[in-house]
Structure 1
Amino acid sequence: MAIERFQIHVSDEILDDLSYRLHRTRWPDQLEHAGWEYGTELSYLESLVTYWKDHYDWRAQESKLNRLSQFCCQIDGIDVHFVHEHGKGPNPLPLILTHGWPDSYLRYQKIIPLLTDPASYGGNPEDSFDVIVPSLPGFGFSGRPRHSGINNFHVSEMWAKLMTEDLGYQKFAAAGGDIGSGVTRYLAFNHPELLFGIHLTDIGIIRNLTTSSDDAKLTEEELQYKKSASEWIAQEGGYMSLQSTRPQTLAYGLADSPAGLAGWIIEKFRAWSDCKGNLQQSYSEEELITHVMIYWVTNTFGSSARMYYENSHSLPPLDYIEVPTGIALFPADILLPPKEWAVRNLNVTRWTQMPRGGHFTAMEEPELLAQDIREFYRPFREKKNY
């Protein structure tokens, strides 16, 4: 399938059905004086849903999203939606950015102009990038896989084909967070010859540390990580257990209730961001609802959740990654990795500890992230074979 232009246009029928459901939400009860410790707080979600049905304008957001240069092509039998914005500098470096869950390609909406056109934001035009932002298979406007096995490894192979066979780049840069971090690391491990370097904002949950039975072999920093990770999984990892084991069962409810879908997704934005418990400190209602809308209008919650199942059941192990790696850590992110472990398993050439920000880095602190990406890739621009 050739690359085709893509524009978002959600049917009136889908939007009318959404309005019908929002106006007829059946709310659960909540314990008196309970806050977010039991999950998404009732009064907050009621307020957000009221804004959603009475004030939120999808058509305005749709028009805004369609200002991005969007395309679609087929890779391994799956339709892949992606943004491709060309850089405005003298020799833009191609960069593929991979998102995670429960966000979408919108994770990078704010950072795209900072990377493609740094001169317009006080930067150096020689730091510009051609930015490619695909939607993961089963997420948003990409196609839903019809067979099992579409995990981080398989997606990395799809991205290699997208960048070289479909877009024609000989060599490129890659960055990501959450699932995007895993995809980027597999891309680097399997195709080091294609990459200048990789830039990560997290390393996910380091399973060989959390499951280690020999604490004597772990450093003090790694022991602290193991303790923190065990506590986090016990207190925060319920969503992960469900999506890794029974995503289909969960999908029935969240494909049927927009309020339920919002409750499932928004709780993660609050828990994983540097918002001090106040979502409005980091995000507008439009930002949050638009992320939920991407899942709702495409009915892709179930297919996105299956990515957790595939990654926990069919993902091959990773070995040492030789590709130069930059890591930018934001203090409120999930489980910051021990540097000792990182340097043993990746060729870490840049390690940045950011002053603020959380898991959704490109949404929360786009300027900080863009600057770190520019600085990490600057030495590679002397090589012009891209």
Structure 2
Amino acid sequence: MTIKKVHYKTKARTAVVLSLLLVALLAATLAPSARVLGQQFAQTDAQTQVAGKASATEENAIRPFRVHVPQEAIVDLRRRIAATRWPDNETVSDQSQGVQLATMKELVRYWGTKYDWQKAEAKLNALPQFVTNIDGLDIHFIHVRSKNPNALPLIVTHGWPGSVFEQLKIINPLTDPTAYGGRPEDAFDLVIPSIPGYGFSGKPTGTGWNPDHIARAWAELMKRLRYTRYVAQGGDWGSPISSAMARQAPTGLLGIHINLPATIPPDVAAVLAGGGSAPLGLSEKERAAFDSLDTLNKKKRAYAVMMGTQPQTVGYGLTDSPTSLAAWMLGHPGFAQWTYSGGDSEKSPTKDEVLDNITLYWLTNSAVSSARLYWENKNTSLLNAMAQKTADISLPVAITVFPNELYRAPETWARRAYRNLSYFHEADKGGHFAAWEEPQLFSEEIRAAFRSLR
């Protein structure tokens, strides 16, 4: 009996060892998406730890990446949507109290019953995606090379409440310009990263990931991709990040293009901060810009102030309720026209495209981690020329002003702010999410802006 017991124990131990070896072998062969995202969509603190670290041997490696969201995460999202507790109706007939109840109910009803995340996932997985660890964080990015061997590399940065979804429609026009009315010599290689704390990039576990730090990370990314000459573009947060790159002037960076530029002169910024009346002597365009900025400061910046001072506090509701997250994101003034239209399916971005973006924030549990970028910026105005140190930029700067942007930067202010303004153009349509709203026009602007730097 004793011999048999030992025999049985030995067999059991052998079985356990073999099982552990099999599990280890399977784990080693899983793609990055399965290793990381399987935990990422569990919406726990483990997600941050897994996404934000890499082994020493992987530190500079560029690894392929695919998105895969477990079905249970979608089921949980729909369950939470169905359990939404709605507030009372607003007491006004406009959006002066925020996103209207009827708009939210219609959108959320569609989100919980008809929206299909798998289509969004397929759009991303149809593109070459990668991750690489920079300063302890995995940085997710899309990298599409043009067939043109002389293509100019371009790194494009999104903002909040955006993501890499904003740029999907400009990939083909910029990498294959001849198919969209451009010239072969206008081709770009595109690098589209997710800002740290956003989407599939890792979440910072400490402080310091401000626009300057992100700019240095982008320069390192382009270096790892072995680009020796390249340009940068950005709107919203992408504007101060691209501007920081231009200030730092890393080897290889030729120039930048920005929409939503930091052009407000110091004297005008001081008046706006104090809530005073417009200074005397402003031109018609300068006065229009002042009035837009005054309205923005007094009525439309609550989201930025809250995230710039207490991102953790606002994050509890956004992390627990998908409806709260959607309303918070749609309350951004850049979405004002879209929400006024009631999410008109004929407008761009479409209802499904807007939900692609919101769902990405939800599934990656990035409401708080993305908001912290405002806190890291110390609530400094993205539009203030002095605050953004535009005088320190010597590289060429190109600017496109879109008519439905948060404010229309006057050329006179732009020339005061940027001493090497190489291109300035006022487009006839488009707004805060110009690449999303008008991808063909946006692509034409990028081609024109960088043509002199090739």
Question: Is this a same-fold pair by TM over 0.5?
Answer: yes
1:42-191 matched pairs, under 5 angstroms? 42-164=101-223, 166-191=224-249
Q: How big is the shift at 1:224?
A: 5.3
User: Do the aligned partners of 1:328 and 1:354 also contact (CA within 8 Å) in 2?
Assistant: yes
After TM superposition, the score normalised by the length of structure 1 is: 0.92
Unaligned segments of structure 2, at least 5 residues: 1-58, 382-386
Aligned residue identity for 2:195: L
After TM superposition, the score normalised by the length of structure 2 is: 0.79
- Tell me which residue corresponds to 2:306: 242
Higher mean alpha-carbon deviation, 356-365 vs 217-226, is at: 217-226
**1:374 is aligned to 2:447:** yes
* Helix, strand or coil at the partner of 2:190: strand
How has the CA–CA distance of structure 1 residues 270 and 311 changed in structure 2, closer, same or farther, with 3 Å as cutoff? closer
Aligned residue identity for 1:335: Y
Question: For residues 117 and 199 of structure 1, what CA distance do their matches in structure 2 show?
Answer: 20
Q: Which of 435, 440, 448 is the aligned partner of 1:362?
A: 435
Question: For residues 23 and 205 of structure 1, what CA distance do their matches in structure 2 show?
Answer: 45
User: Do the aligned partners of 2:262 and 2:388 also contact (CA within 8 Å) in 1?
Assistant: no
User: Do the aligned partners of 1:274 and 1:358 also contact (CA within 8 Å) in 2?
Assistant: no
Q: How big is the shift at 1:243?
A: 0.6
Aligned residue identity for 1:197: G
**1:339 is aligned to 2:395:** no
* Helix, strand or coil at the partner of 2:143: strand
Question: For residues 218 and 255 of structure 2, what CA distance do their matches in structure 1 show?
Answer: 15
Question: For residues 337 and 228 of structure 2, what CA distance do their matches in structure 1 show?
Answer: 36
Aligned residue identity for 2:327: G
- Tell me which residue corresponds to 2:392: 320
User: Do the aligned partners of 2:334 and 2:431 also contact (CA within 8 Å) in 1?
Assistant: no
Unaligned segments of structure 1, at least 5 residues: 382-386
How has the CA–CA distance of structure 1 residues 278 and 33 changed in structure 2, closer, same or farther, with 3 Å as cutoff? same
User: Do the aligned partners of 1:210 and 1:226 also contact (CA within 8 Å) in 2?
Assistant: no
* Helix, strand or coil at the partner of 1:323: coil
Q: How big is the shift at 1:229?
A: 1.7
Larger radius of gyration: 2
Question: For residues 111 and 195 of structure 1, what CA distance do their matches in structure 2 show?
Answer: 21
For residues 307-335 of structure 1, the C-alpha deviation after alignment (integer angstroms, 9 at most, x for no partner) is 00111269985233211111111001012
How has the CA–CA distance of structure 1 residues 184 and 33 changed in structure 2, closer, same or farther, with 3 Å as cutoff? closer
For residues 69-112 of structure 1, the C-alpha deviation after alignment (integer angstroms, 9 at most, x for no partner) is 10000101111000000012241110000000001111101001
Aligned residue identity for 1:288: V
Question: For residues 300 and 274 of structure 1, what CA distance do their matches in structure 2 show?
Answer: 23
Higher RCO by CA contacts (8 Å cutoff, separation 6 or greater): 1
* Helix, strand or coil at the partner of 1:36: coil
* Aligned residues: CA RMSD: 2.3
**1:38 is aligned to 2:110:** no
Higher mean alpha-carbon deviation, 63-72 vs 311-320, is at: 311-320
Question: For residues 261 and 247 of structure 2, what CA distance do their matches in structure 1 show?
Answer: 14
- Tell me which residue corresponds to 1:309: 375
- Tell me which residue corresponds to 2:315: 251
User: Do the aligned partners of 1:106 and 1:291 also contact (CA within 8 Å) in 2?
Assistant: yes
* Helix, strand or coil at the partner of 2:232: strand
Question: For residues 302 and 380 of structure 2, what CA distance do their matches in structure 1 show?
Answer: 21
User: Do the aligned partners of 1:98 and 1:175 also contact (CA within 8 Å) in 2?
Assistant: yes
For residues 25-77 of structure 1, the C-alpha deviation after alignment (integer angstroms, 9 at most, x for no partner) is 11111135633221111111111111111111111221121101100001011
User: Do the aligned partners of 2:263 and 2:413 also contact (CA within 8 Å) in 1?
Assistant: no
Question: For residues 170 and 388 of structure 2, what CA distance do their matches in structure 1 show?
Answer: 31
- Tell me which residue corresponds to 1:210: 269
- Tell me which residue corresponds to 1:290: 356
User: Do the aligned partners of 1:5 and 1:72 also contact (CA within 8 Å) in 2?
Assistant: yes
How has the CA–CA distance of structure 1 residues 204 and 54 changed in structure 2, closer, same or farther, with 3 Å as cutoff? farther
Question: For residues 375 and 122 of structure 1, what CA distance do their matches in structure 2 show?
Answer: 13
Aligned residue identity for 2:358: V
Question: For residues 326 and 317 of structure 1, what CA distance do their matches in structure 2 show?
Answer: 16
**1:330 is aligned to 2:388:** no
**1:264 is aligned to 2:337:** no
Question: For residues 449 and 218 of structure 2, what CA distance do their matches in structure 1 show?
Answer: 21
- Tell me which residue corresponds to 2:423: 350
For residues 180-223 of structure 1, the C-alpha deviation after alignment (integer angstroms, 9 at most, x for no partner) is 00000010111164222211111157483322589879754556
User: Do the aligned partners of 1:98 and 1:133 also contact (CA within 8 Å) in 2?
Assistant: yes
Question: For residues 119 and 79 of structure 1, what CA distance do their matches in structure 2 show?
Answer: 35
For residues 107-136 of structure 1, the C-alpha deviation after alignment (integer angstroms, 9 at most, x for no partner) is 101001110111222321221111000000
How has the CA–CA distance of structure 1 residues 272 and 153 changed in structure 2, closer, same or farther, with 3 Å as cutoff? farther
User: Do the aligned partners of 2:265 and 2:417 also contact (CA within 8 Å) in 1?
Assistant: no
Give me the identity figure in percent: 39
User: Do the aligned partners of 2:212 and 2:244 also contact (CA within 8 Å) in 1?
Assistant: yes
How has the CA–CA distance of structure 1 residues 272 and 205 changed in structure 2, closer, same or farther, with 3 Å as cutoff? farther
Higher mean alpha-carbon deviation, 179-188 vs 4-13, is at: 4-13
User: Do the aligned partners of 1:272 and 1:359 also contact (CA within 8 Å) in 2?
Assistant: no
Q: Which of 4, 9, 13 is the aligned partner of 2:72?
A: 13
Question: For residues 270 and 322 of structure 1, what CA distance do their matches in structure 2 show?
Answer: 30
